[in-house]
Amino acid sequence: MGYTNYFLCVTISLFLTLSSLHLVAPFPAAASGGGLDYSYYDQTCPRLAMIIRYSVWSAFKNESRIAASLLRLHFHDCLVNGCEGSILLDDTIDFKGEKNAPANRNSARGYEVIDSIKAEVEKACPSTVSCTDILALAAREAVVMTGGPYWPVSLGRRDGLTANQAAVAQELPSPIESLDDITAKFTSKGLDVKDVVVLSGSFLHFTRRLFNFKNTGKPDPALESSALTSLQGMCPNKDASNANLAPLDSTTTRFDNSYYTNIVNNAGLLDSDQALLMNPTTGEMVRSYSSNPYQFYSDFAASMVKLSSVGVLTGKNGEIRKKCGSVN
Known catalytic residues are 76
Task: Sort 230 into a burial class: Cβ within 10 Å, 0-12 / 13-18 / 19+.
Answer: middle
Residue 256 annotated in ligand binding: yes
Contact status, residue 33 vs residue 40, Cβ threshold 8 Å: no
Rounded Cα gap, residues 132 and 150, in angstroms: 19
CA angle 19, 22, 26 (to 5 degrees): 100
Report the C-alpha gap between 6 and 37 in whole angstroms.
34
Which amino acid is residue 82, in one-letter code?
G
Say whether 325 counts as a known binding-site residue. no
Provide the sign of the torsion angle of the four alpha carbons 312, 133, 294, 146, taken in this order.
Answer: negative
d(CA 48, CA 39): 11
Residue 301 CA to residue 156 CA, distance in Å, equals: 20
Judge whether 80 is annotated as a binding position: yes
CA 154 to chain centre: 18
User: What is the helix (H) or strand (E) element at residue 6, kind and residue range?
Assistant: strand 6-8
Q: Is 98 annotated as a binding residue?
A: yes
In this structure, the chain runs to a length of: 328
Q: What are phi and psi of 43, to 5 degrees?
A: -95, -35
149-182: string of b/e by CB count within 10 Å (b at 16+)?
A: bbbbbbbbbbbbbebbbeebeebbbbbebebeeb
For residues 181 and 175, give the distance between their C-alpha atoms in angstroms, rounded to a whole number.
10
Reduce the DSSP state of residue 189 to 3 states and report it.
coil
Residue 77 annotated as binding site: yes
Contact 213, 220 (CB under 8 A): yes
Q: What are phi and psi of 272, to 5 degrees?
A: -70, -25
Question: Which residues are part of a known binding site for substrate?
Answer: 173
Question: Which residues are part of a known binding site for Ca(2+)?
Answer: 77, 80, 82, 86, 98, 249, 252, 256
